[in-house]
Chains A and B, each alone.
Chain A
Amino acid sequence: MASRIEITLKPELIDAEGELLRRKAGDYFGIQIDGVRTVHIVTVDADLAVDQIERARNEIFTNPVTQISSLAPLPVAADWIIWVGFRPGVRDNPGATAVEAMADLLGKRFAQGEAVYTSRRYCLQGKHLTAADVERIANQLLANDIIQQWRIYSAADWDPAQGVGLIVPKVRLDHTPTLTVLPIDSDATLQRLSKERNLALNPNDIPVIRAYFLDPRVQAERAQVGLSDPTDLELEYISQARSDHCNHNTFRGLFHYTDATSGQRETIDNLFKSCIQTPTRQLQQQKPWVVSVLWDNAGVGRFDDAHYYTITGETHNSPSNMEAYGGAITGIVGIYRDPLGTGLGSRLIMGSYGFCVGPRDYAGDLKPRLHPRRLLDGVIEGVRDGGNKSGIPTPFGQVLFDHGYMGKCLVYVTALGIMPAEVAGRPSEQKTILPGDAVIMCGGRVGKDGIHGVTASSETFSAHTPAGHVQIGDPYTQKKMHDFLLEARDRGLIRFITDNGGGGLSSSVGETARFSNGCEIQLEKVPLKYAGLDQWEIWVSESQERMTVAVAPAHVEAFLALSARHGVESTVIGEYTDSGKLHITYEGRPCAYVDLDLLTAGFPQWTFAAEWRDPQARGLIEPVLGVPGDQNRLLLDMLARPNICSKEWISRQYDHEVQGTSVIKPLVGVGRDVVSDAAVLRPVLGSRRGLAFSQALLPFYSRIDAYHMTACTIDEAVRRLIAVGGDPEHLGGVDNFCWPTIEYDPLTNPDGRFKAAQLVRSCQALRDMCLAYEIPLLSGKDSMYVDGHLPGRYGETHKVSALESLQFSATSVIPDIERCVTLDPKVPGDRVYLLGDTRDELGGSEYYDLLGYVGCQVPRVWPEPFMARYRALAEAVEQGWIASAHGIFRGGLGVHLAMKAMAGQMGLAVDLARVPVEGNPTRDDVLLYAESAGRFILTVDPRHAEAFETLCKDLPLACIGRTVAEPRLTVQGSTGQTIIDLSVAALKEAWRKPFGDLI
C-alpha cells in the first residue's frame, strides 16, 4: 500500500524555489503571481507500517527547524495548484536516495518493485491568474511532457482531504521478454525492418549485412548454436555499431570536391585519416609528451614524470534539444565516464561547457519544441548539477546565440582527468584483455531509457524521433562508482575499463571483446530496473552511469567486495573469450552469434559530393559604410551584444574550485567578473606545475568560409593559453565538429554539397593549423545533422540549419603556476602594448553583425609569424615582464580594451594611430572592431619596457598607451581626436545590462 508524505517550508521562511518561479513567470511571460509555495511530495510504494512511515517522515523527510510535514495534504493557501511528477520509468534521483535512507533508518530491504517516488506541487496565489496562465506556467516553466506529467487544480477543484491523491508512476511492462527472428529474404525486407524498428541502417550497408547472414559458412556455424536468420538483437547490434555516431562514417567518407570558381576537382578519401590521424601520428613522433592518442576513450598527455592527463569532449545536442536539463546533465555526466574509462582509469579534474542556442529573447514565428530561453535555462542547470554533484570543477565555458541553433541547439561538454603514470607496476595508459577475464558491469541498472539514443542523434530531429531516449543523469551514483573504480585501479584489480555510453553494452562489450577476440554474455545476469525488457533492449539500452570492466578471474572476488564497500552494484555478466565471436545467450537460449570482425570489413564507404563556391561567387560583398561618428555609443552597444555581454550568472552557478586546484578562475579582475582567457589548474596538489585549458568557438566566420572559421578558432584557443602563461611547445587539441547535414538532396537539402565542401575545407584547415602550430589532436568528436524543422505561423515547417561549428579545446602544461598571468591591468602608469597587426578584416565580425552585414574579408591566420609572437610572449611571461595579457577575440580591439579596463577597474588611454597594421587600414571602426587573429593587449611595468621591446624587435609590437588611475577608457582616433571617452562604470553598466539581473 502506498503512502504519501507532504513537506513544505514553515510559512515564515522564504521559499526560494517558489520565488524563482514567481520571478520567471513575470520576466518571461508577464504573468503576475503574488506568491508561490512549494510542497514536496514523497510517495512510498512499499510494504511499511504507518509507524515506519511516520519515523521516516520525522527523521528523514522533515527538517524540524525549517519544515512542516504531514501524511495528509498540507493546507497551503492557493488560488491554483500545479502538481508535477515524473512519467513512469524516468530516473527519479531523490526517489532512489529516499530508498537508501529509509532502508538505513528502518533496517528494511526494499523488495523488487517497491520504490519511492518524488513529485512537487506548486501553490500559486494570484487573484488574476487565469487557467491559461497556469497551463503556460506548468508546461513552459515547470514540466516537459517527455519526462513529466502534471495536473492543474483551481481552488474550486481542489479537494483538501484528497490532495493530488496517490500517484505511483511505476513501470508495468507485463511483457515476457521475447527474442524475434527477422527474415531477410530481400534487401527491401531489411530496408523495411530498418525503418519499422528505427534502426537507421544506411541503404548501402543492407546488402553487406544480408550477404553475411546468407554466407553458408556463417549459416552452418549459426546452426550449431541454434540460430538461423538474424535476431532482432543482432540487427540492433549492427545498427548501433554502424551508426554515424559510433562509426564516424561521414568523416571516413569519400568526398568528391569541386571548386566551382576555379573548376578544380579533388577527391578526398577519409577526412579522419588524412586530416586528423596522419598529422597527429606525425606530431606524436616529435612530441614525447604525447602518451596515447587515437584509440582510447580519451587522449593522454604527460603532465609530469609521474602523472598523465586525459582529455576528451563531445556533444549532447539531440536529447538536450528535446529535454534540456536531462540532455545536458546526461551529457556532462556521460563525458566524465570517458577519462574514467581511459587507460586503467583516470580521476576527473575538470569539465567545461559550450552552449549554442537561439536568441534568448526570440519573439518570431517559429516554434521550436523549447523556447531558446527555456532551453538555455535547462542546459545551464543540467551541466550545473552534473558537474557540481560529481565534485568536478567547471572553470571554463562559453555561450553563443545564433538563429541557426533554433533548429537544434549545441551542448558541448569536455572532461579532463589525471592518472598516475604507473598503476600497480603497469603503465597506466596501456590495457588489454585476456580470454577468461570476467565481463563486469558496474554502476546503474538497465531500463528502457536510452534506447535508440545513438541512432536518433544520427538523424535530423523530426516529429517521429523517439522521445524515449531522453534520460536524466545521476551524478550521485556515478560519483560513488568513480571513487570505487579508482580504488580498484590502485589495487591492481582492473585489467581493462571502458564506459557504457552510446550503444550501451552493445558498444562497450562489442568493442572490448576485440581485445581478447571474443566474449560470451549471459544477458539474464544484467541487473534491470524493472522486469519485462526484451533481450535486444537490455543489450542496447543506454541507461546511464555504467562502466564495463574486465577483471582477471583471480581478482573478481576482491573487486566485488570493494564494490559493495562503496555501495556500488557490480555484476559479472559473462566472460571474454578468444573464439572470434560475440556470443550472447539468455537463460541458456541463443540470442546472438556474430563474427567480431564483421563490423571492421566489407561495408561500403559513404560518398559525398562537395561543391565550393568562394564568397564573391556566392554574392557576398564588403558593405559600403561611412565611419561612425558616435563611437561612444557604438562601443556601449557592442558591449551589450548577447555574444559579448556579461554572463556571470552562468559561471557562478558552477563550482569552479572544488578539489582545491584553482589557479586562474573563470572570472577574474578586481570585480571578479570579467571572463578569463583560459583556466589554469594545479591538478597535483603540492606540485607547482599547472594545466592550462581553453576553448574557442567562432561559427560566425563559417558564413564566409569554414576554412578560416577553423583556422581562427584554433588560433584563438591557442592564444588564450599563451595569454595566461601556457607553453607554446606543449599544445594539445581536441576538435569537436557540429555540422548541418551534408548529404545533398534536391528537396530536403539543396545546399548539401556546399555544406560538404565547408566540412572538407574545415578539416583541411584543422590539418594545416595543427601541423603549423604543432598541435596533436588528443581527442575529437563529430556530430552531424544539426538541423531542425520548425513549425511556423501557418503550420508550415521551416528547415533551420546551424552554422558550421567547430569547438576547439586546447591544453598546455605550465612548469610554474606562480608565473601565470591574468588579463586585468594592475598598476596605473604601465605601458599598454598591442602585439600583432590589425588588418582590414571585418568580415563575419560582431560589428558587421550589429549593422546587419556579413561582409567578405574574414580574418585569416598566418601561422609562422603568429607563432613567433607566441614564443616571444611566452618568454616575456617567463621573465616576469608581463603584468597583464589578454587576447583580442570576438568584438575586436575596442571591446577587449573595455574588458581590460573593466577587469582592472582602471583607466586606459590609447592612441589608435600607434596600432600596428598590415595593409592599409586607417579607419577607426576597422582598427577598433576588426577581429584579426594573432593579437594581444598587454600591460608592462615601464621598468621592463626596454627589455620587452628588444625581445619583440622583429615583431609587430607597439606601445599604444598607458594605464591610468582614473577608471576611464579614452581612445584617440587616427586623426588625433578623442573618439571614445567612457567611464569604466558606464562600460560595465552596458556590458551587464542584458543579463546582469540574472543569478
Chain B
Amino acid sequence: MNQINALVLTGYGLNCDHETAYVFEQAGARAERVHINALIDGSVSLDRFQIMSFIGGFSWGDDHGAGVVQAVRMRTRIGDQLLRFVEQGKLVIGICNGFQCLVNLGLLPGLDGDYTRRSVALTFNDCGNFRDDWVHLAVDAESPCVFTRGIDHLELPVRHGEGKFVTDRDTQRALNANRQIVLRYALPDGRPAKGAFPHNPNGAMDDVAGICDPTGRVFGLMPHPEAFNHWTNHPDWTRTRELAKRGRIPMPAGLTPGVRVFKNAVDYFAAG
C-alpha cells in the first residue's frame, strides 16, 4: 500500500493535534501537524495529503460561534483549495471544533453537491454548560460514511459547550433520506436517546451526533474518537480488566474503536 498522508490542522487555539496525529499513525497513515497559516502562505500544499482532519479545540476562543472565525479565515484564504480537495475524492474528518468549522464552511452537509452553503448548525448545549462525559453512539449501518464502515456502535467522550445539532425540517428530511446522519446519541442498550439528558448531552435534534456528506467522504462529529486511542481511555477499563482476569469476558485487544474510525479512512485508499 502506498503511504497515506494525513494532515492534522493546528494553530489559533486548536488543541487536539497530538492525539489526532497519534491515532492516524496507529491507523497506518503518516500524520503531519500543519499550521493553518502554512496552508494559507502555500509553504505546505494540500496536494500531498489524502486525508485532512479539522481537529478539536477552541479556534479563536470559540468567540462569535464555535468554528465560525476559523471557517471565515479558511474560506476567504483557501476556500478553493478545500473544495478541490473534496472534489478529488479525498477524505475530510471534522471533530468537535472541526465539525463546527465544517458546517460553517458548508463542507457539511454538502447537499446537492453544494459544499459552500451553511444549512445546519451546532449551537449551545441545552444544559447551558460545557460538558465532558462519555456517550453511547448508534451508527447508521446504511450510511455511506467511509469512516464508520463495519462499526455499529461506539462509546466516545464528548467535550463541548456548543454541540446541539440544529437544522430546518427540509434539510433534516434530506439528511435522513440520504442516510447522512451517521451517528446518533443512544442509551447504553443502544436504543435512541430521544433527547434524554445526559445520554443526549446537548439536546441535539433527532439525537444527531455526527453527519457526513452525500458521498460519505466528508464526516463531522461532536464526540472525540481520537480520545479513545488506548483501551485505558475508556471509563470502565479497570472493571473490564478485572472481569477479564477472572475469565468472565475477553481482554480488549487490537485497535480501539476510536482508532478504527481512522483506520477505515486509511483502508479506504488501500481498497482503491
List 5 other contacts, CB 8 Å, given A64-B118, A97-B63, A476-B58.
A98-B64, A658-B15, A658-B16, A826-B239, A880-B245
Chain B residues near A821 (CB-CB < 8 A): 238
Is B268 interfacial (CB 8 A cutoff)? no
User: Do the beta carbons of B130 and A65 come within 8 Å of each other?
Assistant: no
Measured between beta carbons, the chain B residues less than 8 angstroms from A475 are: 13, 58, 61
Given the contacts A98-B63, A476-B60, A999-B127, A820 and B73 also touching, CB distance less than 8 Å: no
> A474 — which chain B residues lie within 8 A by C-beta?
61
**B232 touches which of A656, A820, A880 (Cβ 8 Å):** A820
The proximity string for A residues 866-885 relative to B, scoring 1 for CB distances below 8 Å and 0 otherwise, is: 00000000000000100100
In the A-B complex, the 6 residue pairs with the closest CB atoms: A391-B15, A660-B19, A65-B121, A476-B61, A94-B63, A20-B128
Q: In the complex, what residues of A have CB within 8 A of residue B243's CB?
A: 826-827
A982, chain B: closest CB distance, angstroms:
23
A-B contact pairs, 6 of them (CB 8 A): A60-B69, A65-B168, A66-B166, A652-B131, A660-B229, A672-B235
Which residue of B37, B166, B235 is within 8 Å of A566 (Cβ)?
B37
Q: Among A101, A476, A658, which residue has the most Cβ atoms of chain B within 10 A?
A: A658
A984 vs chain B, min Cβ distance (A):
16
Q: Are A63 and B123 in contact (CB under 8 A)?
A: yes
Tell whether, in the assembled complex, residue A101 and residue B73 are in contact, meaning their CB atoms are under 8 Å apart. Answer: yes
Q: Does A122 make an interface contact (CB < 8 A)?
A: no
Pairwise interchain contact B125-A16, C-beta atoms closer than 8 A: yes
On whether A652 and B133 interact (CB within 8 A), knowing A60-B69, A389-B13, A476-B60, the answer reads yes
Q: Which residue of A lies closest to B23 (CB)?
A: A660
Which A residues lie within 8 Å of B159 (CB)?
388, 655, 657-658
User: In the complex, which of the residues B134, B236, B238 has the most CB atoms of chain A within 10 Å of its own CB atom?
Assistant: B238
Known: A655-B130, A659-B18, A682-B230. A65 touches B166 (CB 8 A): yes
Q: Is A647 an interface residue (CB 8 A)?
A: no
A19: chain B residues within 8 A (beta carbon): 128
Distance (Å) between the CB of B199 and the closest chain A CB? 13
- Least CB distance from A338 to B in Å reads 19
* Chain A interface residues (CB < 8 Å from chain B): 9, 13-14, 16-17, 19-20, 23, 42, 59-61, 63-66, 93-94, 97-98, 100-101, 104-105, 384, 388-391, 474-476, 479-480, 483, 565-567, 651-665, 668, 670, 672, 682, 685-686, 817-818, 820-822, 824, 826-827, 880, 883, 941, 999
Residues of A contacting B128 with CB < 8 Å?
16-17, 19-20, 23, 999
- Answer whether A101 and B69 are a contact pair too, CB < 8 Å, given A475-B58, A566-B35: yes
Is there contact, CB below 8 Å, between A94 and B242? Answer: no
Asked if A97 and B77 make an inter-chain contact with CB atoms under 8 angstroms apart, the answer reads: no
In the complex, the answer to whether B166 meets A13 with C-beta atoms within 8 Å is yes
Complexed CA–CA distance, A623 and B16 (Å): 55
* Cα distance A661–B226 in the bound complex, in angstroms: 10
Q: Which residues of chain A are within 8 angstroms of B224 by Cβ–Cβ distance? A: 657, 660
Kindly report which residue of chain B lies nearest to residue A392, judged by CB atoms: B15
Which residues of chain B are within 8 angstroms of A389 by Cβ–Cβ distance?
Answer: 13, 58, 61-62
Contact B235 A480 (CB under 8 A): no
Cβ–Cβ < 8 Å partners of B130 in chain A: 384, 388, 653, 655
In chain B, residues 1-31, which have Cβ atoms closer than 8 Å to a Cβ of chain A? 10-16, 18-19, 22-23
Pairwise interchain contact A65-B62, C-beta atoms closer than 8 A: no
Q: Does B220 contact A (CB under 8 A)?
A: no
Central interface residue in B13, B19, B104, by most chain A CB within 10 Å: B13
A479 near B13 (CB under 8 angstroms)? yes
Residues of A within 8 A of B18 (CB): 659-660, 685
Q: How far is the CA of A64 from the CA of B64 in the complex (A)?
A: 13
What's the least CB distance linking B111 to chain A, in Å? 13
Residues of B within 8 A of A (CB): 10-16, 18-19, 22-23, 35, 37-38, 41, 56-58, 60-65, 68-69, 72-73, 76-77, 104, 118-121, 123-134, 157, 159, 166-168, 203, 224, 226-227, 229-230, 232-233, 235-236, 238-239, 241-243, 245-246
Q: Which among B72, B131, B230 is the interface contact of A104 at CB below 8 angstroms?
A: B72
Residue ID in chain A nearest B241 by CB atoms: A818
| Beta-carbon contact of B235 and A827 below 8 Å | no
Q: Which has the most chain B C-beta neighbours within 10 Å: A97, A664, A817? A: A97
Contact of A93 among B12, B61, B77, B226 (CB under 8 A): B61
Smallest CB-CB separation from B61: which chain A residue? A476
- Chain B's nearest CB lies how many Å from the CB of A329? 12
Report chain A residues within 8 Å CB of B227: 657-658, 660, 662
How distant is B196 from chain A, measured CB to nearest CB, in Å? 14
Q: Shortest distance in angstroms between B251's beta carbon and chain A's nearest beta carbon?
A: 10
- Residues of B within 8 Å of A65, CB to CB, are 118-121, 166-168
Q: CA of A480 to CA of B58 in the docked complex: distance in angstroms?
A: 11
**A-chain residues with CB within 8 Å of residue B241 when the two chains form the complex:** 818
* Neighbour of B72 across the interface among A60, A656, A657, CB < 8 A: A60
Give Cα distance in the complex from A475 to B245, angstroms.
44
Verify A14–B203 contact, CB threshold 8 A. Answer: yes
Tell me if B64 and A567 are in contact (CB < 8 A): no
Is the pair A656, B132 in contact by a Cβ cutoff of 8 Å?
yes
* B69 surroundings in chain A (CB, below 8 A): 60, 97, 100-101, 104
Q: Among B11, B19, B120, B238, point to the contact of A567 (Cβ < 8 A).
A: B11
Task: List chain A residues, Cβ under 8 A from B12.
Answer: 476, 480, 567
**Are the C-beta atoms of A565 and B13 separated by less than 8 Å?**
no
Closest chain A residue, CB of each to CB of B245: A880
> Which of A17, A388, A664 lies in contact with B58, CB distance below 8 A?
A388
Residues on B with beta carbons closer than 8 Å to the beta carbon of A880: 245
B10 to chain A: which residues have CB within 8 Å? 483
The residue in chain A whose Cβ has the minimal distance to the Cβ of B133 is A652
Nearest CB of B to A51, in Å: 16
| CA–CA, A23 and B129, complex, Å | 13
Instruction: Please tell me if the beta carbons of B16 and A104 are within 8 angstroms of each other in the complex.
Output: no
Q: Which residue of B lies closest to A61 (CB)?
A: B64
Query: Which residues from chain B contact A480 at a C-beta distance below 8 Å?
Result: 11-13
A390 touches B15 (CB 8 A): yes
Bound: A827/B239 CA distance, A: 9
Given known A-B contacts A565-B38, A657-B159, A880-B245, A66 and B11 have beta carbons under 8 A apart = no
Residues on A with beta carbons closer than 8 Å to the beta carbon of B68: 60, 63, 101
Check B72 against A685 for contact (C-beta < 8 Å). Answer: no
Residues of B within 8 A of A670 (CB): 236, 239
User: Do A653 and B131 form a contact, CB below 8 Å, given A63-B65, A391-B16, A567-B37?
Assistant: yes
Contacts of B104 in A (CB 8 A): 63
> B63: which of A16, A93, A822 is its contact (CB, 8 Å)?
A93
The one of B15, B23, B65, B242 in contact with A826, judged by C-beta atoms closer than 8 angstroms, is B242
Cβ contacts under 8 Å, A105 to chain B = 72, 76
Residue in A16, A659, A824 whose beta carbon sits within 8 Å of that of B239 in the complex? A824
Contact B15 A101 (CB under 8 A): no
CA distance A672 to B239 in the complex (A): 12
Contact in complex: B246, A941 (CB < 8 Å):
yes
Residues of B within 8 A of A66 (CB): 121, 123, 166
Taken together as a complex, chains A and B put the C-alpha atoms of A672 and B134 apart, in Å, by 9
A104 contacts B239, C-beta separation under 8 Å = no
List, in ascending order, chain B residues with CB within 8 A of A20's CB: 128-129
* A104 pairs with B76, CB closer than 8 A: yes
Give the most central of A20, A475, A483, A686: most B CB within 10 Å: A483
**Measured between C-beta atoms, what is the minimum distance from A660 to chain B in Å?**
3
A672 touches B133 (CB 8 A): yes
A661 CA / B242 CA spacing, docked (Å) = 21
User: How far is the CB of B129 from the nearest CB of chain A, in Å?
Assistant: 6
Q: Are A660 and B118 in contact (CB under 8 A)?
A: no
Residues on A with beta carbons closer than 8 Å to the beta carbon of B123: 9, 13, 63, 66
- A827 & B13 in contact (Cβ 8 Å cutoff): no
Does the CB pair B232–A566 fall under 8 Å?
A: no
User: Smallest distance from the beta carbon of B96 to chain A beta carbons, Å?
Assistant: 10
* A388 contacts across to B, CB distance below 8 A: 58, 130, 159
Chain A: CB-nearest residue to B201? A652
> Which residue of chain B is the closest to A667 with respect to CB atoms?
B235
A659 CA to B239 CA, complexed, in Å: 23
Q: Report how far A718 CA is from B121 CA in the complex, Å.
A: 47
